[in-house]
C-alpha cells in the first residue's frame, strides 16, 4: 500500500515535468497547426545543454536555465522562421516531415558531439533525497514540480492576462479571422513556437536530471508526448497538464503493482481507450464540420 | 513553375545522376548502366504520364529490373536494389491510404513487424526449413497483417481529424513493439527470433529474394493502379480533397477509408516477412521500427504523394541514397545529419514532391508555348489591322 502511495506521489511529481515538455507541443499545435516531431529532440537538446554546462563548466543546472531557456528560445525562433513559415498548403503533413528532418539533423549532431553513451545531469539536489511521510523522494522531483507549476503559471498569465495572450488565443480559435481583425498571425506564430521551445529547455533539464538519456531517446519521448497531448485534447494546455498527471501516475502505479516491463503499455492502452470513447480527447473541442 | 522549383528539379536530377551510379561504382560498370536505364525509365515514365503510355513504360521498367541482377550480380548491388524494390512495394501500398485519402499513417511499420513475426513464428512452430517454400509462408504475413488491420483501422479511423489519426497510428506501432519485447514466451523478447535460412550460397543467395521483392512490387503497384482507376479510388481521392463534400455526394467515407486501410496493410505484411527471411534474424526494435514509417512517408512524399509513380521513384532514389550515406559517412556519424539536411532541402524546394512538380512544370511550359504562339499570331495580325485602319 505504501508502495502504491509512493508511486502515486512520484507519478504526480514527474507528471508535472512531462506537462512542461508537452505544453510546448500542444501550444504550437494550437497556434501554428503543426505537429512538431522535433519536440522530443528539443527536450534532449535542452537536457544536453544543461548537462554540458554542468559537466564542463560546473554551472548548476537550475542557474544554467538562465542560459538554456534563451538559447532554446532562439533555436525555436530559427526553426519556425526557416522551416515552418514557408509551409503553405498541407501544413500538418509537411510539418511532420520537416520537423522530423530537423530532429534527425539535431540527433545526428548531438550524437557526433556527445556519442551515444547514456548520460545524466547531476547536482546535489538530484542525488539527495528528502523523507516525506516515510517516502524518500529526490529533491529534484519536488523542485521540478515546483518549477513546472511556476512556469506553467507564467504561461497561463501570459495567455490570459496580456494582449499577446489574447491575440494568441484568437489565432487558436480562428486563424483567418485573426488575420482579418488585424492580428499579426505570423509574428504570433513565431513567438509562440519560440516560447514553446524555450519552455522545453526547462522540461529538458528536469528530464535529464530524472532520467538517463542519449540522443536515441528521442523517438520514445516524442511518442509519449504525442500521446499526452492527444489524450488531453490537442491545443488544450490544461488538458496537457491533466493528461500528463494521469499518464505518469498510471505508469508508476503499474510498474509497482505489476511490472516495469508493462508500465509504458499503460500509456498506449489509456490513449487508445480514450480515443475510442472520446475521439477529441479529454478537453478537446469536438471537430467542427467544415461548411 | 517558379524559378526556384526549376532549380530544385535541376539539383535533384543532378544528385540522382551522381548518386545512383556511385552506389555501384565500387563493383562493376555494368550495374551503372542498368541503374541508368532504370532511372531513365522512371524519368521517362514521369514524362509520359500524361500521354497514357503507362503500360509500355512500366514494361520497360520491369524489364530493366529483371535485367539488373543478370547483368550485375554482386551481393552489394543486388542488396541495394532488393531494398529499393521492397520499399517500392511498401510505399506504394502505404500510398493507398496515406496518399489517396490523405490519412497519413505513421504506424504501418506495425504491419511490417507483424509479417516478420508471422513468418518467424510459423517457421519455428511447424519446424520448417529454409527454401523456396518459405516464400509461400511470407504470404501468411500479409494475411496476418490484414487481420490485425481490421480492429486497428476500426479504432484509428473513428477519429475524424487527421492529426489524431496520425498520433494513434504511432501509438499502435509502439504498442506492438512493447508486446514483442514483453511477450517473451512467443517472441523471445529482446533476444529476437531466428528465421530458418536457405542453403543458397554466394552471390546467388540474393537472387530469389530480389525476384520475390520485384514480384511483390509489381503486384502492389498493379493493385494501387487498379484502385486509383476504379470507382473506389475515385471515392478515396474525393475524401482527400474534402471529406464532408465527398460524404455529401454519396461516398460512404467510412467504408472507403476502412477498406483502403486494411488493403494497404497486406503487401506491407508480406514485405515484412520477406525482409525477415532475408535478414535471418529479427528483433522487436528492427521490425517495429518508427524509422521504417518515416522512410515510407519520405519516399512517398519525395516522389509525390497520391500519385502512382511517386512512391516508386521516391523509393528508387531514397533507398540507394540512404544506403550510400550509411556506407560512406555512417562510420563518421554524419549519415543522419546529411540525410536530414537533404530532406529539408527537398521539402522546402519542392513541397509537392518530384512527380507533381515535374508534371506541373511541363504543363506550364506547354501553356506558355501555346500563349507565345498565340501572341506571335496576334502580333502578326495587329500591323495588318492597323494598316487596314489607316487605309479606311
CATH of the domain at A236: 1.10.3470
pLDDT of B193 above 50: yes
In the predicted model, what is the mean pLDDT of chain B? Answer: 79
Smallest Cα distance from B55 to chain A, Å: 31
pLDDT of A120 above 90: no
Q: How confident is the model at residue B14 (pLDDT cuts 50, 70, 90)?
A: very low
- pLDDT at position A43, please? 92
Q: How confident is the model at residue B44 (pLDDT cuts 50, 70, 90)?
A: low
- Are the beta carbons of A97 and B167 separated by less than 8 Å? no
- Whether A148 maps to a domain, the answer reads yes
- Residue B183 forms contact with A (CB below 8 Å): no
- Residue B175 forms contact with A (CB below 8 Å): yes
- pLDDT at position B11, please? 45
Residues of chain B positioned with their CB less than 8 A from the CB of A89: 351
- Residue B161 forms contact with A (CB below 8 Å): yes
CATH topology assigned to domain B3-378:
ABC transporter involved in vitamin B12 uptake, BtuC (1.10.3470)
Smallest Cα distance from A212 to chain B, Å: 20
Q: Please state the rounded mean pLDDT for residues B222-233.
A: 90
Q: What percent of chain B has pLDDT over 70?
A: 80
- Are the beta carbons of B337 and A230 separated by less than 8 Å? no
Interface test with B, best of A275, A283, A289 (most B CBs within 10 A): A275
- Whether A68 maps to a domain, the answer reads yes
Residues of chain A positioned with their CB less than 8 A from the CB of B174: 223, 264, 268
Q: How confident is the model at residue B50 (pLDDT cuts 50, 70, 90)?
A: very low
Here the cell at position A164 is 499577446
Considering only CB atoms, A272 lies closest to which of B155, B338, B341, namely B155
Q: Which long-range contacts (CB under 8 A, 24 or more apart) does A272-275 make?
A: A272/B155, A272/B168, A272/B171, A272/B172, A272/B175, A274/A231, A275/A230, A275/B155, A275/B158, A275/B159, A275/B164, A275/B168
Residues of chain A positioned with their CB less than 8 A from the CB of B336: 104-105, 107-108, 111
Q: Which residue has the higher pLDDT, B88 or B130?
A: B88
Parent domain of A102: 2-277
Q: How confident is the model at residue B271 (pLDDT cuts 50, 70, 90)?
A: very high
- Are the beta carbons of A287 and B244 separated by less than 8 Å? no
Q: What is the ipTM of this complex?
A: 0.79
Q: How confident is the model at residue B92 (pLDDT cuts 50, 70, 90)?
A: very high
Residue with cell 501572341: B375
In A13-143 the beta strands, taken as DSSP E runs, fall at: 129-132, 135-138
- Residue B94 forms contact with A (CB below 8 Å): no
Q: What part of A 17-36 touches B (C-beta under 8 Å)? A: 29, 35
* Nearest Cα to Cα of residue B142 among B258, B233, B271, B53: B271
- Are the beta carbons of A101 and B170 separated by less than 8 Å? no
CB pairs under 8 A between A and B: 127
- Are the beta carbons of B171 and A223 separated by less than 8 Å? yes
Buried b (16+ CB within 10 A) or exposed e, B297-321: bbbbbbbbbbbbbbbbbbbbbbbbb
Please write the tens of the pLDDT for every residue from A131-184: 777 777 788 888 888 888 898 888 888 888 888 888 888 888 888 888 888 888
Q: How confident is the model at residue B6 (pLDDT cuts 50, 70, 90)?
A: very low
Helices B253-279 and B231-241: crossing angle in degrees, nearest 10, is 100
Considering only CB atoms, A227 lies closest to which of B104, B166, B171, namely B171
Q: What part of A 188-247 touches B (C-beta under 8 Å)? A: 219, 223, 226-227, 230, 234
Written as one string, the DSSP assignment of B266-335 is HHHHHHHHHHHHHHSEE-HHHHS-HHHHHHHHHHHHHH-TTSSHHHHHHHHHHHHHHHHHHHHHTTTT-H
- Whether A291 maps to a domain, the answer reads no
Q: Domain-by-domain residue ranges, chain B?
A: 3-378
Considering only CB atoms, A108 lies closest to which of B155, B168, B333, namely B333
Contact predicate B120/B98, CB 8 Å:
no
Q: Which range, of A30-34, A218-222, B50-54, B333-337, averages the lowest pLDDT?
A: B50-54
Contact predicate B338/A101, CB 8 Å:
no
Considering only CB atoms, A98 lies closest to which of B161, B335, B347, namely B347
Q: How confident is the model at residue B18 (pLDDT cuts 50, 70, 90)?
A: very low
- Residue A264 forms contact with B (CB below 8 Å): yes
Bridge partner residues of A132 (DSSP): A135
Q: Please state the rounded mean pLDDT for residues B94-108.
A: 89
pLDDT of B5 above 50: no
pLDDT of A106 above 70: yes
- Whether A247 maps to a domain, the answer reads yes
Please write the tens of the pLDDT for every residue from B352-381: 777 777 777 777 888 888 888 888 887 776
- Are the beta carbons of A219 and B168 separated by less than 8 Å? no
Q: Please state the rounded mean pLDDT for residues B5-23.
A: 47
- Whether A283 maps to a domain, the answer reads no
Report the domain count for chain A. 1
Interface test with B, best of A89, A279, A287 (most B CBs within 10 A): A279
Smallest Cα distance from A16 to chain B, Å: 22
In the predicted model, what is the mean pLDDT of chain A? Answer: 83
CA distances from B88 to A128, A204, B92, B308 (A): 54, 38, 6, 11
Considering only CB atoms, A104 lies closest to which of B167, B340, B348, namely B340
Q: How confident is the model at residue B96 (pLDDT cuts 50, 70, 90)?
A: very high
Cα–Cα distance measured from residue B257 to residue B244, given in angstroms and rounded to the nearest whole number: 13
Here the cell at position B155 is 479504432
- Are the beta carbons of A108 and B340 separated by less than 8 Å? yes
Cα–Cα distance measured from residue B33 to residue B286, given in angstroms and rounded to the nearest whole number: 33
Q: What is the dihedral of CA A134, A137, A142, A143, to 10 degrees?
A: 140
Residues of chain A positioned with their CB less than 8 A from the CB of B102: 93
Amino acid at each position: 500500500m505504501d508502495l502504491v502511495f509512493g508511486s502515486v506521489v512520484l507519478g504526480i511529481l514527474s507528471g508535472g515535468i512531462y506537462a512542461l515538455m508537452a505544453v510546448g507541443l500542444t501550444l504550437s499545435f494550437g497556434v501554428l497547426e503543426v505537429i512538431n516531431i522535433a519536440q522530443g529532440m528539443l527536450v534532449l537538446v535542452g537536457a544536453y545543454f544543461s548537462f554540458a554546462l554542468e559537466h564542463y563548466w560546473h554551472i548548476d543546472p537550475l542557474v544554467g536555465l538562465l542560459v538554456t531557456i534563451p538559447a532554446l528560445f532562439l533555436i525555436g525562433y530559427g526553426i519556425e522562421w526557416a522551416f515552418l513559415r514557408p509551409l503553405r498548403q498541407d501544413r500538418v503533413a509537411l510539418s511532420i516531415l520537416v520537423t522530423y528532418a530537423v530532429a534527425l539533423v539535431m540527433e545526428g549532431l548531438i550524437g557526433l558531439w556527445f556519442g551515444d553513451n547514456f548520460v545524466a545531469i547531476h547536482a546535489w539536489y538530484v542525488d539527495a533525497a528528502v523523507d516525506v511521510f516515510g517516502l524518500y523522494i529526490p529533491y529534484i522531483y519536488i523542485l521540478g514540480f515546483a518549477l513546472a507549476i511556476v512556469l506553467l503559471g507564467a504561461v497561463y498569465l501570459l495567455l490570459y492576462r496580456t494582449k499577446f495572450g489574447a491575440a494568441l488565443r484568437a489565432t487558436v480559435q480562428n486563424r483567418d479571422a485573426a488575420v482579418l481583425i488585424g492580428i499579426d498571425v505570423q509574428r504570433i506564430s513565431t513567438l509562440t513556437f519560440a516560447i514553446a521551445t524555450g519552455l522545453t529547455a526547462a522540461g529538458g533539464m528536469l528530464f535529464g536530471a530524472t532520467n538517463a538519456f542519449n540522443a536515441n531517446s528521442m523517438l520514445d519521448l516524442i511518442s509519449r508526448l504525442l500521446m499526452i497531448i492527444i489524450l488531453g485534447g490537442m491545443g488544450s494546455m490544461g488538458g496537457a497538464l491533466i493528461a500528463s498527471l494521469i499518464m505518469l501516475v498510471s505508469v508508476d502505479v503499474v510498474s509497482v503493482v505489476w511490472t516495469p516491463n508493462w508500465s509504458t503499455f499503460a500509456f498506449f492502452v489509456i490513449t487508445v481507450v480514450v480515443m475510442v470513447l472520446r475521439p477529441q480527447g479529454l478537453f478537446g473541442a469536438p471537430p467542427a464540420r467544415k461548411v | 513553375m517558379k524559378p526556384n522549383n526549376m532549380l530544385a528539379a535541376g539539383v535533384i536530377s543532378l544528385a540522382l545522376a551522381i548518386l545512383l551510379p556511385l552506389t555501384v561504382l565500387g563493383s562493376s560498370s555494368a550495374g551503372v548502366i542498368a541503374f541508368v536505364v532504370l532511372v531513365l525509365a522512371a524519368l521517362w515514365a514521369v514524362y509520359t504520364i500524361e500521354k497514357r503510355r503507362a503500360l509500355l513504360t512500366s514494361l520497360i521498367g520491369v524489364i530493366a529490373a529483371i535485367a539488373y541482377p543478370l547483368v550485375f550480380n554482386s551481393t552489394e548491388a543486388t542488396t541495394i536494389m532488393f531494398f529499393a524494390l521492397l520499399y517500392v512495394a511498401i510505399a506504394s501500398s502505404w500510398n493507398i491510404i496515406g496518399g489517396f485519402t490523405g490519412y497519413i499513417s505513421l504506424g504501418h511499420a506495425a504491419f511490417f513487424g507483424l509479417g516478420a513475426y508471422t513468418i518467424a513464428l510459423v517457421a519455428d512452430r511447424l519446424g520448417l526449413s529454409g527454401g523456396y517454400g518459405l516464400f509461400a509462408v511470407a504470404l501468411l504475413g500479409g494475411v496476418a497483417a490484414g487481420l490485425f488491420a481490421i480492429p486497428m483501422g476500426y479504432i484509428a479511423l473513428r477519429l475524424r481529424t487527421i492529426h489524431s489519426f496520425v498520433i494513434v497510428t504511432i501509438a499502435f506501432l509502439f504498442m506492438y513493439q512493447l508486446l514483442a519485447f514483453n511477450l517473451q514466451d512467443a517472441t523471445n523478447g529482446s533476444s529476437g527470433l531466428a528465421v530458418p535460412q536457405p542453403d543458397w550460397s554466394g552471390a546467388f543467395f540474393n537472387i530469389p529474394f530480389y525476384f520475390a521483392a520485384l514480384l511483390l512490387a509489381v503486384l502492389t503497384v498493379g493493385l494501387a493502379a487498379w484502385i486509383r482507376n476504379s470507382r473506389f479510388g475515385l471515392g478515396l481521392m474525393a475524401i482527400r480533397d474534402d471529406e464532408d463534400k465527398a460524404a455529401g455526394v454519396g461516398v460512404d467515407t467510412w467504408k472507403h477509408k476502412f477498406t483502403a486501410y486494411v488493403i494497404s496493410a497486406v503487401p506491407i505484411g508480406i514485405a515484412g516477412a520477406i525482409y525477415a527471411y532475408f535478414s535471418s534474424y529479427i528483433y522487436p526494435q528492427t521490425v517495429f521500427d518508427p524509422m521504417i514509417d518515416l522512410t515510407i512517408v519520405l519516399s512517398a512524399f519525395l516522389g509525390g504523394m497520391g500519385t502512382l509513380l511517386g512512391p516508386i521513384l521516391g523509393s528508387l532514389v531514397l533507398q540507394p541514397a540512404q544506403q550510400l550515406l550509411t556506407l560512406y559517412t555512417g562510420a563518421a556519424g554524419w549519415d543522419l545529419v546529411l540525410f536530414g539536411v537533404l530532406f529539408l532541402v527537398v521539402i522546402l524546394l519542392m513541397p509537392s514532391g518530384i512527380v507533381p512538380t515535374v508534371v506541373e512544370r511541363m504543363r506550364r511550359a506547354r501553356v506558355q508555348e501555346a500563349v507565345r504562339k498565340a501572341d506571335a499570331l496576334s502580333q502578326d495580325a495587329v500591323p495588318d489591322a492597323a494598316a487596314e485602319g489607316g487605309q479606311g
